[in-house]
């Protein structure tokens, strides 16, 4: 055993010695007028000149890919400029100033400035950073931006496709990648942004509620107010995982493991009416305080909601008249319960008791909504679309398109803080001609038909 061990050590030592001989500098030259920490050298293992520079006690080296000493010296000077530039800007010395990671670092400084100016939200900024760190930088980080082409991006797309991400999420990752390359193009590090592979998006709008379904929601939400519902997980006889929603005070047999208790509140019942009459998003619930709400009573009765900006929109929202009654009812309820005081401008409109944790407040409403969906059997639409709190906003917009007279789509989109394209692709996706049959079959009393600038004839619509 001792002999074998000795042989092993001897062999390893010989290998290390051989490697040292191949990598040891056989010729070395310093660069005139530059620090002595910068030099070029040759080694037995390579026919090319190499450049080395010491940064903060660490040696950074790179091949010049040339056998010409003159070209190697020119390369070393350029290498020195790149490394010192990276040092000044906090970029790793092992990265080129024209690498993807270096461009990303500089671009994020510009994005941070946009955040400070209020041009983008903190959520948008944080989400972008998360995606860069999670997937984009590990793939592209060390690449030179000039080397990133269609095939390279296509390989990244193929990698994303193995992660079971939705088409919209994959598109978002590609969009963030394109953003860095566009920044590199503006800095003239690349002549143009390379072509990107396309990803087919299938829009999946959430379900909405008909009038009868909405009435069922309202009635059951009222019936559940004040109850504590247990959410329990268990396995049925076939070994399938099931969920049980059961009143904590009932004598009904309770299966499996208790996950949570959900207190059903008056706030959910009022929220259902409020959202169907106000166009707001569920995220608005977290931030909406009484100071954001103005009750307007003139020729029209409505609430003016001056909410914090969402998704790049900051215009006030005007509601339907019913939202005014619902708001006032909830306000009086919270006052009677002692959840808010007489001076309540800084209090939140929904679940004000969770003043210091608004994410939890929204989560509580979402959990109550899940219980309500189970109780009503309305969790999915007849077309199989998922119904979440967001479906109440969809219902609001759909009802305006169906029931409103001469609704201007642009005005509707502006008031709902969205775009006309989004109305068409998502909110109005279920809208059919039959839903607006009266409008489609309506006639003006008299009309003139034109051919260019010339009147052809006038017709009395009563005879057509």
Domain stops at, among 68, 88, 108: 88
Mean pLDDT for back-to-back runs of 10 residues, the chain (464 residues): 45 51 76 90 88 79 88 89 72 65 91 87 87 94 90 94 87 95 89 90 76 95 96 91 93 92 97 96 93 94 89 82 96 96 94 95 97 95 89 92 83 87 71 58 56 48 41
Residue 95's pLDDT is what? 52
Regarding pTM above 0.75, the answer is no
User: Cα separation of 131 and 176, whole Å?
Assistant: 8
Is 30 in the same domain as 149? no
User: Cα separation of 30 and 41, whole Å?
Assistant: 9
Is 258 in the same domain as 360? no
Asked if the structure places residue 456 within a domain, the reply is no
Quote the number of domains for the chain: 4
Residue 444's pLDDT is what? 60
Is 245:230 a contact under the CB 8 Å cutoff? yes
User: Cα separation of 221 and 214, whole Å?
Assistant: 11
Is 40 in the same domain as 182? no
Residue in the block written with tokens 């009503």: 376
User: Cα separation of 180 and 156, whole Å?
Assistant: 15
Is 385 in the same domain as 313? yes
Asked if the structure places residue 140 within a domain, the reply is yes
Residue 441's pLDDT is what? 53
Is 259 in the same domain as 279? no
Is 83 in the same domain as 167? no
CATH number of the domain at 403, please: 1.10.443.10
Is 364 in the same domain as 244? no
Asked if the structure places residue 125 within a domain, the reply is yes
User: Cα separation of 177 and 134, whole Å?
Assistant: 13
Asked if the structure places residue 8 within a domain, the reply is no
Is 218 in the same domain as 327? yes
Start-to-end CA distance of the chain, whole Å, equals 109
Is 172 in the same domain as 255? no
Residue 332's pLDDT is what? 96
Q: Report how far Cα 220 is from the mean position of its chain's Cα atoms.
A: 33
Is 392:276 a contact under the CB 8 Å cutoff? yes
Is 172 in the same domain as 217? no
Q: Containing domain of residue 77, as a range?
A: 20-88
Is 64 in the same domain as 82? yes
Asked if the structure places residue 359 within a domain, the reply is yes
With a CB cutoff of 8 Å and minimum separation 6, the contacts of 306 are 292, 293, 294, 316
Residue 404's pLDDT is what? 81
């Amino acid at each position: 055993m001792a002999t074998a061990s000795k042989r092993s050590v001897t062999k390893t030592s010989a290998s290390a010695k051989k490697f040292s001989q191949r990598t040891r500098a056989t010729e070395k030259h310093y660069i005139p007028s530059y620090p002595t920490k910068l030099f070029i050298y040759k080694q037995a293992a390579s026919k090319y000149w190499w450049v080395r520079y010491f940064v903060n006690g660490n040696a950074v080296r790179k091949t010049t890919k040339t056998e010409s000493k003159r070209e190697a010296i020119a390369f070393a000077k350029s290498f020195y400029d790149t490394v010192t530039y990276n040092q000044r800007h906090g970029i790793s010395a092992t990265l080129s100033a024209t690498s993807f990671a270096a461009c990303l670092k500089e671009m994020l400084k510009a994005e941070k400035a946009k955040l400070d100016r209020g041009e983008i939200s903190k959520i948008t900024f944080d989400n972008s950073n998360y995606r860069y760190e999670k997937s984009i930088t590990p793939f592209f980080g060390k690449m030179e931006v000039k080397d990133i082409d269609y095939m390279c991006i296509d390989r990244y797309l193929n990698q994303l496709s193995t992660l079971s991400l939705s088409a919209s999420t994959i598109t978002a990752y590609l969009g963030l990648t394109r953003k860095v390359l566009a920044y590199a193009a503006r800095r003239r590090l690349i002549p143009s942004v390379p072509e990107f592979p396309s990803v087919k998006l299938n829009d999946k709008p959430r379900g909405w509620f008909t009038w009868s379904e909405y009435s069922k929601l309202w009635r059951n939400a009222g019936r559940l107010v004040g109850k504590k519902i247990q959410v329990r997980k268990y396995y049925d006889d076939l070994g399938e995982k099931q969920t049980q929603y059961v009143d904590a005070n009932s004598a009904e047999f309770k299966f499996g493991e208790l996950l949570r208790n959900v207190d059903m509140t008056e706030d959910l019942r009022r929220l259902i009416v409020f959202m169907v009459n106000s166009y707001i998003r569920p995220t608005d619930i977290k931030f909406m305080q009484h100071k954001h709400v103005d009750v307007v009573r003139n020729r029209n009765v409505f609430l003016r909601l001056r909410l914090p900006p969402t998704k790049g929109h900051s215009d006030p929202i005007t509601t339907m008249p019913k939202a005014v009654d619902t708001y006032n009812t909830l306000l009086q309820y919270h006052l009677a319960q002692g959840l808010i005081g007489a001076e309540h401008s800084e209090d939140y409109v929904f679940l004000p008791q969770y003043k210091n944790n608004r994410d939890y407040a929204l989560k509580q409403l979402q959990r109550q909504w899940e219980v309500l969906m189970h109780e009503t059997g309305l969790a999915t639409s007849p077309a199989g679309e998922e119904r979440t709190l967001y479906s109440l906003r969809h219902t609001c917009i759909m009802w305006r398109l169906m029931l409103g007279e001469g609704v201007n789509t642009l005005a509707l989109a502006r008031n709902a803080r969205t775009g006309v394209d989004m109305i068409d692709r998502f909110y109005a996706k279920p809208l059919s001609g039959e839903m607006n049959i009266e409008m489609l079959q309506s006639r003006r009393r008299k009309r003139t038909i034109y051919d260019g600038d010339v009147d052809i004839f006038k017709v009395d619509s009563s005879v057509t």
